[in-house]
Amino acid sequence: MKKEVVLLDSFDDLVDKLIYILTENGYSVHIITSQDRGEKFIDKPVYIHSTDFNSLQSIKSEEDLEKVFHGIEFESVEIGILVFPDDDLNINIARYLRRNGVPKIIVGLRSDEKTIIAEKEGFQVVNVPNCVLGRIQRILSLKFTRITPVRGNISILECLVTGDMKILGKTISELEREYNVSVIIIRDGDKILNGGDEEIQEGDYLIVVGSTGNLMEMIR
Amino acid sequence: MLRKDWLRRELNTFDIYSLVHHDSQSTYYLMMGFIAYYAGRESFLVGIYAVALMIIIALVYGEMGSHFPESGGSYLYVKYSIGRFIGFLSAWFLAFDQIVMISYGTLDASKYIVSLASHMNLAISLLLEHIPIQILAISFSTILFILTLIGIRESATSAKIVAIIDFISVGLLMILPGIIITLLNKGFIDPPYFKWRNIDPLDLFFALALASRGFTGIDALGQLAGEARKPLIQIPRATILVIVIGTIYSISLMYLLMTMVSYTELSSDPVLSIFLIASSIPILTPLIVSAASINIILIMILAALTGYVSFSRLLYILSTDKVLPPRLGDVHRRFRTPHIALLISFLISTLFLLPGEIELIVEPYAIGSLINYLLVSFSLAILSKRGGLYGAFTSPRIFGVAITALLGIIILSVALVIVIIAKQRALLIILTWVIIGVVLYLINRRLVKS
């Protein structure tokens, strides 16, 4: 069934990573951004809701929110992710999404005071100075693909191997050579395999370390 | 085991173009001879009208498609701007033509093979004459069903190969030498009026009705967004390819037909217009004729393939959007294609094939598409006026409304009136199809609510 996410632009590279992870996990993404940022997302498979507001901070009233979210069918929206660098706007939109029946809402916040308010209202809060992407991925319990940046361009990929993946049937050493990565297989829940001759099978859970680009290419 | 129950994004711009190319070209290849037969010395002007209509439809779809990253095409467009029920109706109108395209493409290719084998005195013609035409068509349809089931990548690769064959056999071997030879012989000043007969207004009207149906199939552009890597920019780019290549082909072929073929020759069998042009090229004639004939067969078969892809994706999105039963949205575990929707496409198109009559299939064809295109034009007008959803391709605005939408509304209204007047008998079939759709919609919505 159709799974939709409303994602408020973070105005940094976090939003790109979130889009990649969410679309890789089968979500249809509605990105809410400002008028002048629409073009930034045209090479991504997302709906771009570029508001008439030059700055998202000018969104205040219910009428503004109705205008911004026009055309989104909230009955299909499973998750709202609000990581704009303004705590008040994130909470304001979280309340609007809640009123429209969105079941899971994740709010990125900076101030402790706002965190307490948001948690009291039942929102999932991630504190922005911490590893936001990793936290969001854990909250969402993504089933198929997670890529968590570690340092610089290096990331950890966690992914469930499905029958349609091109890496199926390759050995660990083949993958490591081809993509310049390190691979561990978790099989049958608790077996850890790292021998070079181990073949990737459907249902395996992979932990892979490598450059973000190579990891994305590996699971494409 | 968990599985990815959504479509795989694998298509690039040329893949998308190739899948649409056959659907729109096949209709024009078939219609061109009949348009010329009825339009007589006005054929070139009627051809220009057909091209103008194609350009407007493509621009409307390209602009709308640059806002939507998912499969569903016109259903999503109309639902977003006007509402779910009208969105469903517009998609249901279109679905009729998509399913007809499967039957019509496979049946026409089969008939063409039998005629060609007989015309060329091939040994196999004796065997083919004893096989019911439906069997041959259903065999083609089965192969296409399997191909579209295996994966969109495989379907796109087949479409690309045939598109390249079409560029070589029609573009390079027919159009290019044909135009050069004609210009060398006649010079640039000779207009394409030639010595063809005058026609009466009723025939011209009928020619315009045929021309209005000349390029249906462009809508497949929107169905492929869910399998495109970068849909918001690839759909408009594929649209530009459709416009440029479609225009060059259509104008040139009509020019060559009127320049190199006599009206008497054309009148003997208008369906063979491409074959007649190929036969008139004075160099490498046997090679060009053979290439053109094989190309026509391949184009018809691949048009049926596009029918499979479009119809199944439409059922898929209507199902995932809870408008049709959920099983139709099932995606094959290994191939990541909507296998139940594809099976339904196969079964319904086989029903249309059973009588083996092409006229029966073609009669109601394209009315639904034109209604759909008109609704999409209205949707673009509303979307552009209201704003909110960012698109990678936008046309100039008049009072805030996209100029392509305004042109679409005007020209498509005219085209629809012409076609409805000329094809009144087909309205009953379309009406029956709509009633079936509305009943399905109401039952399913009630089930979803309960």
Those residues of chain B whose CB sits closer than 8 Å to some CB in chain A are 1-6, 8-9, 66-70, 80, 228-233, 320-322, 326, 329, 333-336, 386-390, 392
What is the spatial distance between Cα A50 and Cα A30, in angstroms, rounded to a whole number?
Answer: 10
Residue A97, SS3 per DSSP: helix
> Are the beta carbons of A49 and B390 separated by less than 8 Å?
yes
> Are the beta carbons of A47 and B69 separated by less than 8 Å?
yes
DSSP code of residue A59: -
- Decide if pLDDT at B2 tops 80: no
State the distance between the two ends of chain A, measured CA to CA, in whole angstroms. 22
Question: How many residues comprise chain B?
Answer: 450
On average, the pLDDT of chain A sits at 88
| Average pLDDT for A33-58 | 85
pLDDT digits (tens, 9 = 90+) for B339-370: 999 999 999 999 888 887 766 677 777 888 89
The pLDDT value given to residue B189? 52
> Are the beta carbons of B329 and A1 separated by less than 8 Å?
yes
The pLDDT value given to residue A184? 93
pLDDT digits (tens, 9 = 90+) for A81-92: 999 999 999 999
- Decide if pLDDT at B215 tops 80: no
* Chain B residues closer than 8 Å to A46 by CB: 69
What is the spatial distance between Cα A208 and Cα A148, in angstroms, rounded to a whole number?
Answer: 11
Residue A111, SS3 per DSSP: coil
Hey, which residues does A127 pair with through a beta bridge? A109
- Decide if pLDDT at B3 tops 70: no
- Residue recorded with tokens 């711009």: B13
The pLDDT value given to residue A130? 64
Q: Which residue of A has its CA nearest to B68?
A: A47
- Decide if pLDDT at A201 tops 70: yes
Name every residue whose Cβ is closer than 8 Å to that of residue B75 and which is 6 or more positions away in sequence.
B87, B88, B90, B91, B314, B317, B318, B321, B323
- Residue A214, burial from CB neighbour count under 10 angstroms (0-12, 13-18, 19+): middle
Residue A29 CB neighbours (<10 A): 25
The pLDDT value given to residue B154? 82
Hey, which residues does A159 pair with through a beta bridge? A145, A206
Helix axes B285-320, B273-280, angle to 10 degrees: 150
For an interface test with A, the pick among B313, B323, B390, B393 (most A C-beta atoms closer than 10 Å) comes out as B390
pLDDT digits (tens, 9 = 90+) for B293-305: 888 889 889 889 8
What is the spatial distance between Cα A9 and Cα A162, in angstroms, rounded to a whole number?
Answer: 30
On average, the pLDDT of chain B sits at 87
Task: State how far the alpha carbon of B111 is from the alpha carbons of A206, B114, B138, in Å.
Answer: 53, 5, 12
The pLDDT value given to residue B219? 84
What's the half-sphere exposure (Cβ side, CA atoms, 13 Å) at B197?
Answer: 15
pLDDT digits (tens, 9 = 90+) for A95-105: 999 999 999 99
For an interface test with B, the pick among A28, A47, A216 (most B C-beta atoms closer than 10 Å) comes out as A47
pLDDT digits (tens, 9 = 90+) for B223-239: 788 888 899 999 999 99
pLDDT digits (tens, 9 = 90+) for B247-280: 999 999 999 998 888 888 888 878 788 888 998 8
The pLDDT value given to residue B56? 94
Structure tokens at B301: 């078969």
Residue A32, SS3 per DSSP: strand
CB-nearest partner of B392 from A1, A42, A52: A42
What is the spatial distance between Cα B32 and Cα B21, in angstroms, rounded to a whole number?
Answer: 16
pLDDT digits (tens, 9 = 90+) for A50-84: 877 667 778 888 888 888 898 898 988 999 999 99
| Average pLDDT for B154-182 | 89
* Chain B residues closer than 8 Å to A9 by CB: none
The pLDDT value given to residue B194? 59
| Average pLDDT for B96-102 | 88
CB of B246 closer than 8 Å to CB of B89: no
| Average pLDDT for B283-289 | 86
Structure tokens at B118: 């007989």
What is the spatial distance between Cα B74 and Cα B91, in angstroms, rounded to a whole number?
Answer: 6
Q: Which residue of B has its CA nearest to A43?
A: B230
Quote the longest CA-to-CA distance of chain A: 61
Q: Which of B94, B136, B20, B105 is nearest to B304 (CA)?
A: B105
Q: How far is A46 from chain B (nearest CA, A)?
A: 6
The pLDDT value given to residue B112? 81
Q: How far is A150 from chain B (nearest CA, A)?
A: 27
> Are the beta carbons of B388 and A26 separated by less than 8 Å?
no
Residue A87, SS3 per DSSP: helix
Task: Output the 3-class SS for chain B.
Answer: CCCCCCCCCCECHHHHHHHHHHHHHHHHHHHHHHHHHHHHHHHHHHHHHHHHHHHHHHHHHHHHHCCCCCCCCHHHHHHHHCCHHHHHHHHHHHHHHHHHHHHHHHHHHHHHHHHHHHHCCCCHHHHHHCCCHHHHHHHHHHHHHHHHHHCHHHHHHHHHHHHHHHHHHHHHHHHHHHHHHHHHHHCCCCCCCCCCCCCCHHHHHHHHHHHHCCCCCCCHHHHCHHHECCHHHHHHHHHHHHHHHHHHHHHHHHHHHHHHCCHHHHHHCHHHHHHHHHHHCCCCHHHHHHHHHHHHHHHHHHHHHHHHHHHHHHHHHHHHCCCCCHHHHCCCCCCCCCHHHHHHHHHHHHHHHCCCCHHHHHCCCCHHHHHHHHHHHHHHHHHHHHCCECCCCCCCEECCEEHHHHHHHHHHHHHHHHHHHHCCCHHHHHHHHHHHHHHHHHHHHHHHHC
Q: How far is A37 from chain B (nearest CA, A)?
A: 10
> Are the beta carbons of A164 and B321 separated by less than 8 Å?
no
- Decide if pLDDT at B244 tops 90: yes
Highest mean pLDDT: which range of A163-167, B15-19, B188-192: B15-19
What is the sign, positive or negative, of the torsion defined by CA atoms of B63, B67, B71, B72? negative
Percent of chain B with pLDDT over 90: 39
- Decide if pLDDT at B95 tops 80: yes
The pLDDT value given to residue A31? 95
> Are the beta carbons of B335 and A164 separated by less than 8 Å?
yes
For an interface test with B, the pick among A29, A42, A65 (most B C-beta atoms closer than 10 Å) comes out as A42
CB of B342 closer than 8 Å to CB of B376: no
> Are the beta carbons of A164 and B4 separated by less than 8 Å?
yes
- Residue A54, burial from CB neighbour count under 10 angstroms (0-12, 13-18, 19+): exposed
Q: Which residues of B73-97 are buried (b: 16+ CB within 10 A; e: fewer)?
A: bbbbbbbbbbebebbbbbbbbbbbb
- The pTM (predicted TM-score) of the whole model is 0.84
- Decide if pLDDT at B85 tops 60: yes
The pLDDT value given to residue A115? 92
CB-nearest partner of B387 from A41, A45, A52: A52
Structure tokens at B244: 């440029």
- Give the DSSP H or E segment for A82: strand A77-82
> Are the beta carbons of B230 and A163 separated by less than 8 Å?
no
A96-110, A194-208, B17-31, B224-238: least confident range: B17-31
What is the spatial distance between Cα B105 and Cα B352, in angstroms, rounded to a whole number?
Answer: 12
- Decide if pLDDT at B207 tops 80: yes
- Decide if pLDDT at A220 tops 80: no
CB-nearest partner of A48 from B80, B230, B389: B389
What is the spatial distance between Cα B24 and Cα B243, in angstroms, rounded to a whole number?
Answer: 11
CB of B303 closer than 8 Å to CB of B365: no
